[in-house]
Amino acid sequence: MFAVLILCLVAAVYSQDPLPCTSPPMWEARELRIDRQENFEEYRRIAYDETNQRERLRDEVDINNTRSYYDILVLWKEKKVYAVDLKTKKCNVTATDRPFRPRGVHPDAKIAGEFVIGPPSIPNEHITIEMFTANYTDGCESYILEYLLCHNIKMEYL
């Protein structure tokens, strides 16, 4: 009887899928995007506010060894983008038809894998990473998250 109870408990534990954590609604980060084929590099500082649906981006764009600098404010609720070219001091105000997409983990995301970077046997010398995927009506997203603090390390739109 005791063995059956243990087997039932083990089965219950292994049958559960881990739920995604909740990402912070406000954060700042640095982002790097590179396309070697197009000779394109973008260094970006992001200030993100999910609660008020807005983002501020400070971009340094290098295309074919020509650098441009931009300060961009995206107000998703108002569907407006304010972009200032910091070289020419020209401000462009445009409308955006893209919907606001939270950068945190989608509530319906499913775990796709987990891995550890660093030696797990040494305290404070490793980090546990979880990968989640979620489907949207306009495509699929893949997330790679740091487990303890639930911060995005990488997001891909497929």
Query: Does 22 share its domain with 93?
Result: yes
Determine the Cα–Cα distance for residues 99 and 139; give it in Å rounded to an integer. 13
Strands of the sheet containing 54-63, edge to edge, are 26-35, 40-49, 54-63, 66-75, 80-85, 90-95
Task: Count how many Cα atoms sit within 13 Å of the Cα of residue 27 in the half-sphere of its side chain.
Answer: 14
Determine the residue type at 26: M
pLDDT 10s per residue in the chain (158 long)?
A: 666 667 656 565 555 666 666 778 898 888 888 888 888 999 999 999 999 999 999 999 999 889 999 999 999 999 999 999 999 999 999 999 888 888 777 777 777 777 888 898 888 888 877 777 776 665 555 555 544 456 666 666 55
Among 103, 126, 147, the domain-final residue is 103
> Considering the domain boundaries, does residue 10 fall inside one?
no
Whether residues 24 and 78 share a domain: the answer is yes
Quote the number of domains for the chain.
Answer: 2
